[in-house]
Amino acid sequence: MGGEPLTALNIVGFPSGKLPIEILTEILRGGQDKVHEAGALIIGGHTIIDEELKYGLSVTGRADPRHLLTNAAAREGDRLVLTKPLGTGILATAAKQGTLSHEHQEVLHASMVELNRNASRAALAVGARCATDITGFGLLGHANHIARASKTALHIDVARVPVLPGARDAWRAGVRTGGAERNEKYLLDLVDWGTTSDVDRALLIDPQTSGGLLVAVSSERLAEYLSLVPAGVEIGQVGSSSNPRVVLA
């Protein structure tokens, strides 16, 4: 992490004859807008006929090996900052089921279309060397990757973890994802769960689509980083451990 995107190729699977071509037009337009926002250019792509609509990007970029953000560089005393709230998996599932309010859909979409560009660049600017994006393994899955790669313990204050509005209510109403179930099985013996409630546990393992970053920032430069990333929230810190793991409090 910490690289600069240069070019991108569209990768599309489209159910021809089942959806109007205007939908594909808008998807490609949205992708192009975000690629341009990231400072890169779309130079082509590949499209196939598929039963299910799929869209992605194959990206080429460059990175200075002296200035990278890896999951193996957390140090004892670093503060943990989460740059986007959790809950996209639960809320997107609720939206597919038609049970998510328009207001909560708008907030969900706004979070998902926000790039991690600023948060990543700010991390490099304050000298951070450890970060991970939060995607399919959920916050705890990716935090566990940092703990194991850096040979540290990550202490997370559950009450401070930001959550998208409506996510808790959706879970309490019965919205579930298959990815969360797999994440929980994988993490069962790798996390000290403490007295975490069922709903908080569900959000901490919720698979994220276009989630934020978890960044380890030195305590001396924490305030500077938070000033550069206003949506960032300090959720814990890095400690020493002979048994690398995530500890919830």
> Same structural domain for residues 95 and 36?
no
Instruction: Answer whether residue 68 is part of any domain.
Output: no
> Same structural domain for residues 104 and 184?
yes
d(CA 249, CA 247): 7
> Same structural domain for residues 141 and 169?
yes
pTM of the full structure: 0.93
> Same structural domain for residues 174 and 117?
yes
> Same structural domain for residues 113 and 159?
yes
Residue-range definition of the domain harbouring residue 186: 79-248
Instruction: Answer whether residue 73 is part of any domain.
Output: no
> Same structural domain for residues 179 and 135?
yes
Instruction: Answer whether residue 67 is part of any domain.
Output: no
The enclosing domain of 35 has a CATH number of 3.30.1330.10
Q: What is the mean pLDDT of each run of 10 residues along the chain (249 residues)?
A: 94 94 96 96 95 96 92 96 98 97 97 96 96 97 97 97 98 95 95 96 97 98 98 96 91
Instruction: Answer whether residue 70 is part of any domain.
Output: no
Region at 152 (left for phi over 0; alpha for psi -120 to 50; beta for the rest): beta
| Whole-number pLDDT of residue 166 | 97
Last residue of a domain, one of 31, 62, 93: 62
| Whole-number pLDDT of residue 73 | 95
- Decide: helix, strand or coil at residue 183: helix
How is residue 49 written in tokens? 């006929």
> Same structural domain for residues 34 and 151?
no
| Whole-number pLDDT of residue 57 | 97
> Same structural domain for residues 100 and 49?
no
> Same structural domain for residues 107 and 45?
no
Split into its structural domains, the chain has a count of 2
Instruction: Answer whether residue 74 is part of any domain.
Output: no
> Same structural domain for residues 33 and 122?
no
Tell me which long-range contacts 62-69 makes (C-beta under 8 A, separation of at least 24): 62/3, 62/4, 62/6, 63/2, 63/3, 63/4, 64/2, 67/2, 67/124, 68/1, 68/2, 68/3, 68/129, 69/1, 69/2, 69/120, 69/123, 69/124, 69/128, 69/129, 69/130, 69/131, 69/215
> Same structural domain for residues 106 and 193?
yes
Instruction: Answer whether residue 228 is part of any domain.
Output: yes
Instruction: Answer whether residue 72 is part of any domain.
Output: no
Q: What is the largest CA-CA distance in the chain?
A: 58
Are 78 and 44 spatial neighbours (Cβ–Cβ below 8 Å)?
A: no
> Same structural domain for residues 50 and 100?
no
